[in-house]
Structure 1
Amino acid sequence: MRTFLLLGAAALPFAQGIRVVQSNDDGWSEGNLRTFFDVLNSAGHEVVLSGPAENQSGTGSSDAPPTTVDSDGCIHASCPGGSPPTGANVTDPRLNYVNSFPVTSIKFGIDVVAPKLWNGAKPELALTGPNVGGNVAIQVPFSGTVGAAVYAVKTAQIPAIAFSGKTGDPTAWNASTTLHSRVYADLALNVTTTIINSGKPYLPANTFLNVNFPAVSDTECNNLSEFKYIFTRINIGLLSARDADWCGSTRLPWETDVVNRDGCFVTISPGDANDKTTVNDAAVQQQIITKLKPILSCL
């Protein structure tokens, strides 16, 4: 399955390698995150992963100094109890844990790990997730995966994309790679490559992308050619100004409606880093549509 999926992903030319910082809220050793790390590296990118030592789902934009790991150790037995507040994989300094929140974790990756490995250079793009479980509507402001992306955009001024996937349970880094992790990593690479190929600035200032992947299974939504990428809104926007003129309408579909449809739909929503709602500026929406046009479809 992995070979087939990568062949599908290769239909979109790989972007020139750039410097990427990764994080999530499910823990630094979670299978979705590690599979995406491997795929990004295979695509030629320089990647630093800095994620929480424990599952920190639902912690939003919380931030606190990291503390010594408790006696239970890191999630999935990925570090022993009593480990220092921050640490790296023994054989790969690109893989880092931070015993605190997702925001604290990505901050550590940006401010400490990346400059050390890249001779003082900062990341060019921040990618969080794929989260275990979707992040739509009311879930968005509480998501640590989204919180880490928003920190990158608003505070570190690094463009960011938050990825979330509907299928799966938390899986250890050293377990067999699951089908959903493989599919989500390849879909995330496709979105990432499209943004990189569009040129800098990768996204408008103070804007992030909230991307949600549908359920996958052995019988459906497991081949890249099945998926359609739909440009959507985080919140429904009944009283908002008109959206960009796209797909014959000036009101973008609500991502929750699209996620709940039958079919293999990937939703991509422009998020405002100030409040984690939809970017309501039609001109900014249009800039992002132009960047994503190579992969976008209409419902």
Structure 2
Amino acid sequence: MHTWTRLVAVLSVVTAINAQNLILTNDDGWAVAQIRAQNDALNAAGFNVVLSAPAENESGQDLRFNASDTRLNYVNSFPVDAVRFGIQTLAPEFFGSAPDFVVSGPNVGNNLGSGVTGSGTVGAACEAALEGIPSTAFSGDTASQVSYTTLDSSPNSQSSLAARLYSTLTVTFVQTLLASSARPVLPPGVTLNVNYPSTSGCSAAADYSWVFTRLTPNSSAVDVETCGSDHLPDETSVVDRSGCFASVTVINATTKTDVDAATQGAVLARLTGLVTCLPS
């Protein structure tokens, strides 16, 4: 074997060893532009991705596996069923083990505050957490439920640009969260809820800042101390604020409510260097 061939073989093995295995899901459907742009971005970043999402938005029908492209799979059922199928069936098949992480979304439209209780995107991330797999739900204010073919046929449309921008931001977040080899990635029984503001006026990934938040306003709550305060801003006020601020909230995967300060702190420590303070 030539030296160059041996080197390529070694690098391929190292890449395969270091690649982190992700299940990608959502509740808008496996063929929407948002999830396909996210799939492309995660693969381009070096992650080992298998998509397992509903055929359509919460169709509520029987399970069904599509193998036309073996890494792009749909389930004719709810988001929770789709992510469960990804974790329990597809991950052992493709990874030979449980996935390292579950990315849910980005959803078309934000999932904020008490409204997360009705979100399939958040529900899928919660299901992953309850099965012991670290996860995050991502949602963005801009775009609509259009076909993934729009990414090529109308690359400069608002939906295509937003899908690619949110996908870039999600890759940055996942890379930061998984950068440390320390385990567990997240405390047991929690997931993260990330929301991106409108892309209007925020057209580049560099425009965005990440802010650590709580789910709902609570003037009596004592949160993790950061930015000179032990009271976190609520995610709705951050996303709706003038500027380009993405919210990052730790929620209980069972109750879909805020968690205590110690649990918030464990997550915040993994995001050092990413999250920032709101301007005064």
Aligned residue in 1 for 2:95: 118
**Alignment partner for residue 153 of structure 1, among 87, 110, 129?**
129
Aligned residue-pair number: 253
Contact 1:17 1:43 in 2 (8 A): no
Aligned residue in 1 for 2:196: 213
Aligned residue in 1 for 2:169: 187
Counting aligned pairs with the same residue, the percent is: 41
Aligned residue in 2 for 1:5: none
Aligned residue in 1 for 2:3: none
How far off is 1:86 after superposition?
1.2
Name the aligned partner's letter for residue 83 of structure 2.
Answer: I
C-alpha separation in 2, matches of 1:235 and 1:40: 30
Q: Could you say what secondary structure the match of 1:87 adopts?
A: coil
Aligned residue in 2 for 1:223: 204
**Residue 79 (structure 2) pairs with residue 102 (structure 1):** yes
How far off is 1:89 after superposition?
4.4
Q: Could you say what secondary structure the match of 1:50 adopts?
A: strand
Could you tell me the TM-score, scaled by structure 1's length? Answer: 0.82
Unaligned runs of 5+ in 2: 1-17
Name the aligned partner's letter for residue 163 of structure 1.
Answer: F
**Residue 273 (structure 2) pairs with residue 294 (structure 1):** yes
Unaligned runs of 5+ in 1: 1-15, 58-63, 68-84
**Residue 130 (structure 2) pairs with residue 130 (structure 1):** no
C-alpha separation in 1, matches of 2:208 and 2:73: 32
C-alpha distance after superposition, 1:7-31 (max 9, x if no partner): xxxxxxxxx5201011100001111
How far off is 1:56 after superposition?
2.1
How far off is 1:133 after superposition?
0.1
**Residue 226 (structure 2) pairs with residue 246 (structure 1):** yes
Contact 1:33 1:130 in 2 (8 A): yes
Contact 1:126 1:149 in 2 (8 A): yes
How far off is 1:222 after superposition?
1.3
1:17-56 aligned at under 5 Å gives the runs 17-56=19-58
**Alignment partner for residue 162 of structure 1, among 123, 130, 137?**
137
**Alignment partner for residue 196 of structure 1, among 171, 174, 178?**
178
C-alpha separation in 2, matches of 1:253 and 1:36: 28
C-alpha distance after superposition, 1:46-90 (max 9, x if no partner): 111110111129xxxxxx7x42xxxxxxxxxxxxxxxxx412241
Hey, which bits of structure 1, 4+ residues long, moved more than 6 A?
none
| Counterparts in 2 of 1:89 and 1:174: CA distance versus 1, 3 Å | farther
How far off is 1:174 after superposition?
1.5
How far off is 1:42 after superposition?
0.8
**Residue 211 (structure 2) pairs with residue 235 (structure 1):** no
How far off is 1:239 after superposition?
3.7
How far off is 1:290 after superposition?
1.0
C-alpha separation in 2, matches of 1:20 and 1:234: 25
Aligned residue in 2 for 1:266: 246
Contact 1:88 1:94 in 2 (8 A): no
How far off is 1:138 after superposition?
2.5
Q: Could you say what secondary structure the match of 1:209 adopts?
A: strand
Aligned residue in 2 for 1:10: none
How far off is 1:196 after superposition?
0.5
Name the aligned partner's letter for residue 266 of structure 1.
Answer: A
Give RMSD over aligned pairs.
1.4
Name the aligned partner's letter for residue 136 of structure 1.
Answer: L
C-alpha separation in 2, matches of 1:294 and 1:239: 28
C-alpha separation in 1, matches of 2:65 and 2:251: 31
Name the aligned partner's letter for residue 158 of structure 1.
Answer: I
Name the aligned partner's letter for residue 78 of structure 2.
Answer: F
C-alpha separation in 2, matches of 1:108 and 1:272: 22
**Residue 66 (structure 2) pairs with residue 88 (structure 1):** yes
